[in-house]
Amino acid sequence: ESVDKVDDKIVRVDEPVLATNPSAYESYLYIIVGCASGLILVVGVLALSCYFYYVRPRKERQTQTADFTGSLTNLSSTKSGQIYFRVDTPNNLTINKNASHYSSFRGFLNAPPVSLYRTLSVPAHIMHAKHSAANRSSDTMSDRTNELPIERRKLLLQQKLNEGTFGQIYSGLFVADFNDMSAESKIMIKTVSDQASKLQISLIMTEGMRFYSLKHRNLLSLIGTCTDDPKRPLLIYPYMNGGNLKHFLQTSSSHKYSLDGQIHTFLTQDLVQMALQIVSAIIYLHKRRLIHRDLATRNCFVQTSDQNSFLVKVADHALSRDLFPNDYHCLGDNENRPLKWLALESLVKREFTQSSDVWSFGVTLWELMTLGQQPYFEVDPFEMAAYLRDGYRLFQPINCPDRLYDIMICCWNAVPEARPTFPQLLSCLDDFHQTLGKYI
């Protein structure tokens, strides 16, 4: 309290007191809390947006999996649109016998290997080689070359069909007797360019001799060699009018191809029939203790006929290796390898077996169903081993039947012993081929 004098009168003046209106105070408090809550909400929304648009997709690409049982729970995608499924089975040492993918194929895995003569889709008359594999292994390259000489004057080079980094393929004629031009045969001739080194020439000759003396309907064997000019040796093969199978598939846009000027459409039955012929050729090689090591559509050639049918022949490495430089990569070991077609054990341990050929066939079957697309296009070659170890595999192609994709998945099992054999693949594919025929 204080006392002031006003006109000689004493008046008591109370000390000023701050306003304490409860309603006004609560209004200020609500405004402050509301602003803080709104700010927190905005920050939260921004954080969630960042998570869903940036963080979560990255985590999904790295950690999500596609269940081997067929329920596609997770996947990994790339900018190019290719999707790689991750299966659990390759990371395990045992196979889930109850899985739907496995059960659809289980009957063929457990059944005894079928005779080649059971197959109706693929002519099974297999001609035996002149020599056994044991005898062939002791032959030197010069010995084999001397047994396959063709005089240069009997060879006529015509149109250049393909050209690679150091190799060229021509169409040509082989004239056995100039007095009888009806005896001429159309051929393919593989030679080297002027830039080829001695090492590259030796590599082509060595690889070209791998199928020396082998005879099979679905094997493109060497007819002969011409080494009159050591710097430009010639490898002679039977002519295949459809050319390289990979090129043939890639130029067949929208599942259509040209045959004698007419447009035809690829059917799944056609592609399965091609796969059957490839399997038949590999069975023949394996019976002779030969591992292909580079099975792919680029190492197959196709012959078309007026009956709208295809004859596919598996070739050696020499004919097409340098025509597809993007299919081969070097991991610093000074050796170009088809990394994206190799089995995991071949990639990591350099182990090549009949089972590793099965893996490569799975990729080849995928190529057939995609008309020659590049497998694992967006995967860095240096990351392939880790990618496969983590269980990632190629996606199911569009319009590819589930049963064919089941076969691919079984071929890509990380455990070599768990993969199907080629006789089992022959039986399964032949059965599926006949089933397709019932609906066409």
What are the catalytic residues? Answer: 294
- DSSP category for residue 383: G
Written as one string, the DSSP assignment of 196-254 is --HHHHHHHHHHHTTTTT---TTB----EEE-SSTTS-EEEEE--TTEEHHHHHHTSGG
From 344, 338, 374, select the one nearest 356 (Cα to Cα): 344
Report the first-to-last Cα separation within the chain, whole angstroms.
Answer: 111
Q: Where are the alpha helices (DSSP H) in 338-401?
A: 344-349, 354-369, 384-389
For tokens 């009888």, the residue is 180
Q: Strand 300-304 and strand 243-244: pairing?
A: antiparallel
Cα–Cα dist 395/381, whole Å: 18
3-class SS shares of the chain: helix, strand, coil, % to 5: 45, 20, 40
Q: Are 82 and 366 in contact (CB under 8 A)?
A: no
Cα–Cα dist 355/71, whole Å: 27
- Coil, helix or strand for 185? strand
Strands (E), 78-117: 83-86
The strand pairing partners of 155, in sequence order, are 174
